[in-house]
Chains A and B, each alone.
Chain A
Amino acid sequence: MIRMYNVNKAYRKDSAALQDINLNIPKGDFIYVTGSSGAGKSTLLKLLYGAEKPSRGQILIDGRNVTRMTSAKLPLLRRRLGVVFQDFKLLTSRTVFENVAFPLEVQGKKRYEVGKKVYQVLKYVGLEHKLHRRPLELSGGEQQRVAIARALVVDPLVLLADEPTGNLDHDVTMEIMELFKGANARGSTVLLATHDREMISRFPRRMITLEEGRLVEDRRP
Chain B
Amino acid sequence: MLERFTYLLRRSLTNMRQSPFLCFASVGTVAFSLAILALFAIVVINVQQLTSHWSEEVQVIAYLDKIPEERVLQGWIDRIENLPEVDGVTYVSRQEAFNRFGKRLEQEADLLRGVEPDILPASLEVRLKESHRSRATVEQVVSHLRRDLGLSDLRYGQEWLERFESFLLLLQVAGAVLGGFLLFATLFIVANTIKLTLYARREELEIMALVGGTPWFIKTPFLLEGALQGALGGILALGGSYGLFQFVLQKGLGAVLTVPGIADVVFLSGTQQLLLVGTGVFLGSFGSLVSLRKLVRI
Interface of A toward B, CB cutoff 8 Å: 49-51, 71-72, 74-79, 83, 89-91, 93-94, 102-103, 105-108, 150, 154
Is A106 a contact of B212 with CB atoms below 8 Å?
A: yes
B215 touches A71 (CB 8 A): yes
Residue of B nearest to A49 (CB): B210
Residue of B nearest to A82 (CB): B211
Across-interface contacts of A71 in B (CB, < 8 A): 215, 298
Contact digits for B160-201, partner A, Cβ 8 Å, 1 yes 0 no: 000000000000000000000000000000000000000000
Q: Is the interface of B mostly helix, strand, loop or mixed?
A: helix
The distance in angstroms between the C-alpha atoms of A91 and B7, with both chains bound, is 18
B207 at interface, CB cutoff 8 A: yes
CA distance A105 to B213 in the complex (A): 9
Bound-state Cα–Cα, A107 to B213, Å: 8
- Check B272 for interface membership: any CB of A closer than 8 A: no
Enumerate the 6 nearest inter-chain pairs by beta-carbon distance, A residue then B residue, closest first: A79-B212, A103-B211, A78-B212, A93-B18, A75-B212, A106-B213
Interface of B toward A, CB cutoff 8 Å = 4, 7, 18-19, 203-204, 206-215, 217, 298
Q: How far is the CB of A69 from chain B (nearest CB, A)?
A: 10
Report whether A75 and B206 are in contact in the complex, using a CB–CB cutoff of 8 Å: no
CA distance A103 to B217 in the complex (A): 12
21 CB contacts below 8 A, A to B, read A50-B298, A74-B298, A75-B212, A75-B214, A75-B215, A75-B217, A76-B212, A78-B210, A78-B211, A78-B212, A83-B210, A89-B207, A89-B210, A93-B19, A102-B211, A103-B211, A103-B212, A106-B213, A107-B212, A154-B211, A154-B212
Q: How far is the CB of A160 from chain B (nearest CB, A)?
A: 10
Asked if B298 and A106 make an inter-chain contact with CB atoms under 8 angstroms apart, the answer reads no
* Cα A74 to Cα B212 with chains together (Å): 8
In the complex, chain A residues whose CB is within 8 Å of the CB of B203: 89, 91
Minimum CB–CB distance from B16 to chain A (whole Å) comes to: 11
- B67, chain A: closest CB distance, angstroms: 85
CA A79 to CA B206, docked complex, whole Å: 14
**Which among A75, A91, A105, A150 is the interface contact of B298 at CB below 8 angstroms?**
A75
A50 to B210, CA, bound (A): 9
B207 near A75 with CB under 8 A, answer no
**Shortest beta-carbon distance from B294 to chain A in Å:** 15
What number of A-B contacts does a CB cutoff of 8 Å give? 51
Chain B nearest CB from A40 CB (Å) reads 20
With known contacts A72-B214, A74-B298, A75-B298, A106–B208 Cβ distance under 8 A: yes
Closest to A90 in B: B207
Nearest CB of B to A139, in Å: 20
Contact A89 B211 (CB under 8 A): no
A154 vs B210: C-alpha distance when bound (angstroms): 13
A75 touches B209 (CB 8 A): yes
Closest residue of B by beta carbon distance from A93: B18
> Which A residues are CB-close (under 8 A) to B208?
102, 106
B20: shortest Cβ distance to chain A, in Å?
A: 11
Closest to A98 in B: B14
Query: Measured between C-beta atoms, what is the minimum distance from A135 to chain B in Å?
Result: 12
Q: How far is the CA of A135 from the CA of B209 in the complex (A)?
A: 20
A77 to B213, CA, bound (A): 10
Q: Which of chain B's residues has its CB closest to A103's CB?
A: B211
Structural contact, A108 and B207, CB atoms closer than 8 A = no
A102 touching B207 by the CB < 8 A rule?
Answer: yes
Chain A CB within 10 Å, residue with most, of B206, B207, B212, B298 = B212
> By CB atoms of chain B within 10 A, which of A71, A83, A89, A106 has the most?
A106
B215 proximity list for chain A (CB < 8 A): 71-72, 75
Give the docked Cα–Cα distance between A78 and B206 (Å): 13
Question: Chain B: which residue is nearest A51 at the CB level?
Answer: B210
Report A134 CB to chain B, min CB distance, Å: 10
Residues of A within 8 A of B206 (CB): 89
A75 and B213 within 8 A (CB): yes
Chain A residues with Cβ below 8 Å from B210 are 49, 51, 78, 83, 89
B298 to chain A, nearest CB (A): 5
Q: Which residue from B4, B204, B209, B298 sits with its C-beta under 8 Å from A108?
A: B4
Q: Which residue of A lies closest to B19 (CB)?
A: A93
For the complex, what is the distance from the CA of A66 to the CA of B18, rounded to whole Å?
35
Inter-chain pairs besides A75-B213, A78-B211, A106-B212, 13 sampled, C-beta below 8 Å: A71-B215, A72-B215, A75-B212, A75-B217, A77-B212, A79-B211, A89-B203, A89-B207, A91-B204, A93-B19, A94-B18, A106-B211, A154-B212
